[in-house]
Structure 1
Amino acid sequence: MSRKANSVAVGIFVVLTVTLATVLLVLFSGNPWWSPKQRFVLLYDSSIHGLNVGAPVTLKGVRVGQVSDIYPRLYGDNTAVLNTVTIEIDESILKDSTHDSSPLSAQTLIDRGLRAQLRQQSLLTGLLYVDVDFEPNKPRETKPFATDYPQLPTTPTNLEQLSRDLEAVDLNALMSDLQLAVNGASRLLNDPELQQLAGNLNASLEKVDTTVQTLERTLANLASNYSAVAGDARTFLSGLESDSTAALNKINETLDNLQSSTEAFETFADNAAFLSSDDSPLLYNLNNAATGLNQASDQLRELSNLLNRKPEVLIYGRTEEE
């Protein structure tokens, strides 16, 4: 009897120990099972296969709650069957640090742009979770039905958005336009004028090629002729320079002799001044002769200057401007 009582006492002690350990584990693990929750309802008119009770609810990748209930429900006089998802979010997370420590109301969170979206946990398992975030620029998708908790607006998944975009495309009009484009291209490619145009273009290109070859030969001939002409011109100018130099030397020599003669004549005229009076014909003639010699000397000097500037005058002569 004593042994049986000891067994019962040991069993009770073990149960109490396990219970106490569980309570302590819950207390110190930080899992707020008894902390206040903010509950929202999500309504979906499409399949939510892969979303289970207990699935995480995340905000910016951090778990802030879980899915507490999932069930289909009839709304609108039993004409609309919607998947109803209830989620729980820890109220301690839904606080505004700029105000007091009281949690924000559900309507305030919704007005600030809180939205929910289904996302995949893994491509292999196909399991889903709920991601919430503040996206005020995205449209609010809610159903016009009364719910047990505030209805949190949802945003479509990427696949749903793609499906909606494809449904919005008028495929019949697109196919009709595509058919018209194909028919137009076929008519253009089979047009005899286009085929003839291709032949004419080919012939034109051949003519252009021939013209380019002829032009290249002509330019080569011009280059060789230019080289020959340039050589002849250089030879001619060299000869002209030597001839003009010799002519200038002779003219300078003549000018020197003429200058000496003029000076001698002037000396002679001065010495012979006493032979006649101021109105003597001899003196008058002598003065005229001296003037003529001076003019001749000036003309020769001008000719010398002209030959210095333009030696080709000896060959081509003076122009009207000169």
Structure 2
Amino acid sequence: MKRHRANPVVIGGFVVAALAILAVALMALPGLHWFKRPERVVMFFSGSVFGLQKGAPVVFRGVRIGDVTDISVHYDSTRDSFAIPVVAQLDADAVRGLDGRMGNDDIAHALPTLIARGLSAQLGTQSLVTGQLYVDLDFRTKPRGTLHGGYKGDATEIPTSATAFQALKNQLESVDLRKILDDLSQIAASAKSLVAAPELKQGMQDFAATAAHARRLAAELDRRAVPLTRGAESALASVDRAGGKVSTAADKLGDGADKAGALLDPKGAVVRDLQHAMNELAQASSALRDAADTDGPLLQQTERTLRELSQAARTLRQLARSLDAQPQQLLLGRQPDDGLPATTPASAKNRAEDRVQEPAR
């Protein structure tokens, strides 16, 4: 029997083709980075991560930038609580893209910078049917993510924040439903005792009596409303007439004010006449002051007249005394001075009084 020897070229080609197929398959597998250096990160979740599996995607606003590589349980004895550390590998190029430094090969500074800007992780649902979860990275400042710490490894920790559903669930879990039910039971018991109290029944009876009285009062007011309405209408008519009279008086007063304003106009004839009269009065007052002056001619003439009147009065008094002493002078005429009788004390007294009453020259 003749044996055929294997062709080395065929065998070598087969091996090369197999290696090529294997390389393509390895590169096509998701979540494996054969020619890229990944960035290890860890995220601590406090709630349930049921549905999150190894190989689950890590996305940033819908773009896949890494995969979950490990999920474990961590007990913190200082806080007496459990946390779920989720380790993932991020694509170095994607991390540099988030930082905006595509040309920098060292990405050690990229994640701390992004975390300082508010980068945090949340759990998202891939499918409502299967319940599979994924890790969602984004910049969140309200509320900011929290760091757990205490991871034993060379991974950078990314803060985590609870979703809206998880926050609501935590709030509901923190509510003491038993206490709320007890309070509601006490309120219901208090309401029941209040409704069954005799004071409430008496109050209802009083309210019914008050309502009946109010109805009677309303009927009485309705009965008396017609006269009151008529009286109000007549009063309103009287007020209207009085208002008309007041308006007429106001018009007349306005006309009088206009006339008074015209009379008191500084450029009017009345004001000019009053000003002219005041000027003449001022001139007369000045002339009167000049005439009343002690050194004025009028006062000197008055003094001379008074002196002459005084002398005439003295002469008449002397004539009267002479006639009193010698009445015969009217018939015989005046006797010489030698023939006159001696001066009596009365006549001497009269002459002294005349001298006293004579004004000083």
**Shorter-normalised TM range:** 0.5 to 0.7
Alpha-carbon deviation of 1:40? 0.5
Unaligned 5+ residue runs, structure 2?
235-361
- Pairing 1:66–2:67 present: yes
Q: Distance in 1 between matches of 2:110 and 2:77?
A: 27
Q: Identify the residue that residue 207 of structure 1 maps to in structure 2.
A: 213
Q: Distance in 2 between matches of 1:37 and 1:128?
A: 22
> Does the 8 Å contact 1:39/1:86 carry over to 2?
yes
Change beyond 3 A, Cα 1:222–1:186:
same
> Does the 8 Å contact 2:121/2:160 carry over to 1?
yes
Q: Identify the residue that residue 158 of structure 2 maps to in structure 1.
A: 152
Aligned length: 225
The aligned amino acid for 1:114 is: L
Q: Identify the residue that residue 43 of structure 2 maps to in structure 1.
A: 42
SS state of the match for residue 168, structure 2?
Answer: helix
The aligned amino acid for 2:71 is: I
SS state of the match for residue 108, structure 1?
Answer: helix
Q: Distance in 2 between matches of 1:222 and 1:164?
A: 70
Change beyond 3 A, Cα 1:226–1:162:
closer
Q: Identify the residue that residue 124 of structure 1 maps to in structure 2.
A: 129
Task: Deviation per CA, 1:160-198: give whole Å up to 9, x if none.
Answer: 423332343344543443333223222222221112212
Q: Identify the residue that residue 260 of structure 1 maps to in structure 2.
A: none
The aligned amino acid for 2:134 is: Y
Q: Distance in 2 between matches of 1:226 and 1:175?
A: 62
Task: Deviation per CA, 1:218-244: give whole Å up to 9, x if none.
Answer: 22355579999xxxxxxxxxxxxxxxx
Q: Identify the residue that residue 148 of structure 2 maps to in structure 1.
A: 142
Change beyond 3 A, Cα 1:131–1:165:
same
Change beyond 3 A, Cα 1:17–1:131:
closer
Q: Distance in 2 between matches of 1:62 and 1:17?
A: 30
Change beyond 3 A, Cα 1:139–1:191:
farther
Q: Distance in 1 between matches of 2:209 and 2:146?
A: 67
Q: Identify the residue that residue 90 of structure 1 maps to in structure 2.
A: 91
The aligned amino acid for 1:97 is: G
Match 1:189 to one of 195, 198, 203:
195
Change beyond 3 A, Cα 1:221–1:3:
farther
Q: Distance in 2 between matches of 1:56 and 1:98?
A: 23
Q: Distance in 1 between matches of 2:45 and 2:21?
A: 42
Q: Distance in 2 between matches of 1:88 and 1:119?
A: 18
- Bigger CA drift: 32-41 or 119-128? 32-41
Q: Distance in 2 between matches of 1:143 and 1:163?
A: 24
Q: Distance in 2 between matches of 1:217 and 1:3?
A: 135
- Percent identity of the aligned residues? 29
Q: Identify the residue that residue 107 of structure 1 maps to in structure 2.
A: 112
Q: Distance in 1 between matches of 2:89 and 2:208?
A: 77
SS state of the match for residue 189, structure 2?
Answer: helix
Change beyond 3 A, Cα 1:166–1:147:
farther
> Does the 8 Å contact 1:41/1:147 carry over to 2?
no
Q: Distance in 2 between matches of 1:94 and 1:10?
A: 40
> Does the 8 Å contact 1:42/1:152 carry over to 2?
yes
Change beyond 3 A, Cα 1:160–1:141:
farther
Give the greater-gyration-radius structure (CA): 2
SS state of the match for residue 92, structure 1?
Answer: helix
Change beyond 3 A, Cα 1:111–1:175:
same
Alpha-carbon deviation of 1:71? 3.9
> Does the 8 Å contact 1:115/1:154 carry over to 2?
yes
Change beyond 3 A, Cα 1:169–1:141:
farther
Q: Identify the residue that residue 232 of structure 1 maps to in structure 2.
A: none
SS state of the match for residue 95, structure 2?
Answer: coil
Q: Distance in 2 between matches of 1:82 and 1:49?
A: 13
Change beyond 3 A, Cα 1:74–1:199:
closer
Change beyond 3 A, Cα 1:186–1:70:
same
Alpha-carbon deviation of 1:140? 0.9
Alpha-carbon deviation of 1:73? 6.0
> Does the 8 Å contact 1:142/1:152 carry over to 2?
no
Q: Distance in 1 between matches of 2:131 and 2:232?
A: 86
Q: Distance in 2 between matches of 1:13 and 1:92?
A: 31
Q: Distance in 2 between matches of 1:138 and 1:223?
A: 73
SS state of the match for residue 48, structure 1?
Answer: coil
Equivalent residues in 2 for 1:16-31, closer than 5 Å: 18=21, 22=24
Change beyond 3 A, Cα 1:168–1:9:
closer
Change beyond 3 A, Cα 1:17–1:149:
closer
Q: Identify the residue that residue 56 of structure 2 maps to in structure 1.
A: 55
SS state of the match for residue 93, structure 1?
Answer: helix
Alpha-carbon deviation of 1:65? 1.6
The aligned amino acid for 1:66 is: D
Alpha-carbon deviation of 1:200? 1.7
Alpha-carbon deviation of 1:153? 2.1
